[in-house]
Amino acid sequence: MDEDTDVGVHNMQFVVSLPDSLYPPLIEDFVVEILTPVCQCSLLEWEPPAAETFSTTVKKIPSDVFTIAKSTVIESSKSASPKIRACYVDGGPSCDETTLVTDMIEYQSTMPSYFSRNFNELTINADDNSQARTYIMQVTHSTPDNGDITYTTVTISIGWCVITHIDTPDLPTAEDSAYTIFSGTKTLTLSPAFAQVPDCGYIISESIQWTIPDSAPIDETVDPYVLEIASNDGLSHHAVNPVIL
């Protein structure tokens, strides 16, 4: 029967004919009432998102932000019964399939303090290599008619801090690198030192070598980032001295 055109009251007969013509057929009248199905959106069924794996590192610059997928309506569930089909017929009310992530924690634990969530976007701000490991996340999102849905298909993999580049010291200004003879000892300090970016804190073996003209009154010190300039010889040392690091 058609759910739309056959709605209403129908007079029906139940007829039983016996093989022997001596007996009249048995006829029973009855009434069938076909009601219009009422839309019931709670009959929708939801499918968890496919497995997602996101990778980042400690002290990543900028911090990685991951968009977490949400469950979706199983299309076949929209036609599985009259009450749900009534929602999606032409002119029907349809169902709200909007979802909203309401909670996200590490499975069987809590949300790590170096994770932050904005709806379904997860930002990782790990700042120590002790936090480098794999995290299985438990995600909860709401649905308009089916309550909360929880799934554990999200894996976050945090690796050790990775140095992306080394920042070199700033060049000294003309004023800093100028020296007046007979003015005592002047120190010239390069700063900052060669810096890890990000600052992973690893111990780096440095080999710093200076190339200084033999005639220049410039000497290296115990600190490889510091030079000393001193002269009382205006005739020999009045010059521009190229110094190479």
Least confident of 10-19, 66-75, 127-136, 158-167: 10-19
Share of the chain above pLDDT 90, in %: 77
Does residue 212 lie within any of the structural domains? yes
* Half-sphere exposure for 19 (CA within 13 Å, toward CB): 0
Q: What is the pLDDT of residue 163?
A: 95
Q: Which amino acid is at 29?
A: D
Contact status, residue 139 vs residue 152, Cβ threshold 8 Å: yes
Q: Select from 181, 240, 245 the least CA-distant residue to 216.
A: 240
Question: In this structure, are 172 and 113 located in the same domain?
Answer: no
Task: Record the tokens describing residue 54, joined without a space.
Answer: 């996101």
Answer whether the bond into residue 144 is a cis peptide, omega within 30°.
no
For residue 189, give the 3-state DSSP assignment. Answer: strand
Q: Which two tokens stand for residue 194?
A: 């060669």
Residue 18 pLDDT exceeds 90: no
Residue bearing the bigger pLDDT, 123 or 24: 123
Number of neighbouring beta carbons within 10 Å of residue 144: 14
* Confidence tier at 4 by pLDDT (50, 70, 90): low
235 class by beta-carbon count within 10 Å (0-12 exposed, 13-18 middle, 19+ buried): exposed
Closest C-alpha to 15, from 2, 4, 30, 37 = 30
Locate 103 and state its tokens. 């909670």
Domain match, 74 and 171 both:
no
196 with 216, same domain: the answer is yes
How much is the pLDDT for 11? 79
- Looking at residue 1, its pLDDT comes to 44
Tell me which of 37 and 156 has the higher pLDDT.
156
What is the reported pLDDT for 35? 66
Q: Do 169 and 229 sit in the same domain of this protein?
A: yes
191-223 pLDDT tens trace: 888 999 999 999 988 899 999 999 999 999 999
Burial class (CB in 10 A: 0-12, 13-18, 19+), 41: buried
226 occurs within a structural domain: yes
Instruction: Give the domain-ending residue among 159, 179, 207.
Output: 159
Whether residues 170 and 233 fall in one domain: yes
Which domain-ending residue is among 126, 159, 192? 159
What pLDDT digit, counting tens, does each position of 85-114 carry?
A: 999 988 889 999 999 999 999 999 999 999
* pLDDT at 224 (0 to 100): 93
Give the CATH number of the domain where residue 128 resides: 2.60.40.10
**Residues 167 and 155 grouped into a single domain:** no
User: Is there a cis peptide before residue 24, judged by omega within 30 degrees of 0?
Assistant: no
Q: What are phi and psi of 211, to 5 degrees?
A: -115, 110
Count of structural domains within the chain: 2
Which structural domain range is residue 189 located in? 163-245
* Residue 180, pLDDT above cutoff 90: yes
DSSP 8-state symbol, 99: -
Whether 33 is in a domain gets the answer: no
Residues 146 and 103 in one domain: yes
Share of the chain above pLDDT 70, in %: 96
- In this predicted structure, what is the pLDDT of residue 80? 92
Element (H, E) at 154: strand 147-159
pLDDT given for residue 157 in this prediction: 98
Rounded mean pLDDT of the chain?
Answer: 91
